[in-house]
């Protein structure tokens, strides 16, 4: 008879049970997003996303502005450094980092366009895990 105290291991693709390939893919996605934030050149294919008619290529908005260089920076860094958040995007896109990147950028741009990121400031809240 099984004990009720026995811990069930997390399913594959979650923190604590990543395969080496999944861990490498997570690191790759994070490095791309950090490169976009810092503006550093990183050898990777250019990834363009169109959000509400605005083209964002590798974190740079078509008008030359940086998507991540405004009030969303603190929230962005908290998300990028939260493995759970990035893993959600990777699992949703079947571990294809280019597709997970695209989805992440679309989500952050949507949050920015609807003012979701400023809610923390107006309510006096801070991310649970500041960078």
pLDDT tens digits, 14-47: 988 999 999 999 999 988 887 777 767 666 667 7
The tens digit of pLDDT for each residue in 8-20 reads 877 889 988 999 9
pLDDT band per the 50, 70, 90 thresholds, residue 92: very high
Please list, residue by residue across 23-47, b when 16 or more beta carbons sit within 10 angstroms of its beta carbon and e when fewer do: eebbebbeebbbbbbeeeeeeeeeb
The pTM of the full predicted model, rounded to 2 decimals, is: 0.70
User: Domain-by-domain residue ranges, the chain?
Assistant: 20-38+45-123
Q: Is 14 left (phi over 0), alpha (psi -120 to 50) or beta?
A: beta
Closest CA to 46 of 34, 26, 60: 60
Could you tell me which residue, 88 or 4, shows the higher pLDDT? 88
Question: Stretch 74-93: mean pLDDT, rounded?
Answer: 81
């Amino acid at each position: 008879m099984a004990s009720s105290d026995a811990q069930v291991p997390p399913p594959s693709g979650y923190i604590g049970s990543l395969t080496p390939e999944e861990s490498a893919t997570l690191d790759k996605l994070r490095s791309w997003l950090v490169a976009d934030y810092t503006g550093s050149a990183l050898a990777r294919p250019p990834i363009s996303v169109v959000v509400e008619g605005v083209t964002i290529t590798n974190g740079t908005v078509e008008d030359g502005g940086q998507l991540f260089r405004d009030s969303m920076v603190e929230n962005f860094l908290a998300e990028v450094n939260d493995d759970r958040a990035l893993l959600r995007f990777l699992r949703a896109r079947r571990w294809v980092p280019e597709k997970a990147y695209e989805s992440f950028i679309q989500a952050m741009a949507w949050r920015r366009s609807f003012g979701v990121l400023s809610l923390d400031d107006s309510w006096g809240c801070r991310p649970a895990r500041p960078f």
